[in-house]
Amino acid sequence: MGHKKVCLSCRESFNLDPSDMPVQAYPCAKCGKWMCVLPHQFRPPRKTDEKGWKLVEFLVNNGFPFQHIEPKETSNHSRVKFIPYPSNLRDAKVFIEKHKDKAINK
């Protein structure tokens, strides 16, 4: 499992070769726009899933590129269970507001 290059315009995702990892910017071969690099836990929606891709774009554009988000309180003796990402746009708006302190600003 590795990172993925994702074009939000073309709705395409490609596995990233580990030797490419130092590079963080890739132009899309189809449209020429810049692709984003997302971690291995990202599972792209089907190309025809318009709502799924709008959700992905909304999360990425608001600083949540599918990184792990830890709950505020975790016990040192238990395994960390990461906060799950939302599955629809309405829940994503609440998610972003609730976890805005964990957003990655680029």
**Distances in whole angstroms, Cα of residue 9 to Cα of each of 6, 19, 47:** 9, 25, 11
Q: Which residue did the predictor score with more confidence, 85 or 21?
A: 85
What was the pLDDT predicted at 48?
A: 94
The predicted-structure confidence for 3-42, as pLDDT tens digits, reads as follows 899 999 999 998 887 766 666 678 999 999 999 999 988 9
pLDDT digits over 45-76, tens only?
Answer: 999 999 999 999 999 999 999 998 888 765 56
- pTM listed for this prediction: 0.83
Give the residue extent of every domain in the chain: 4-102
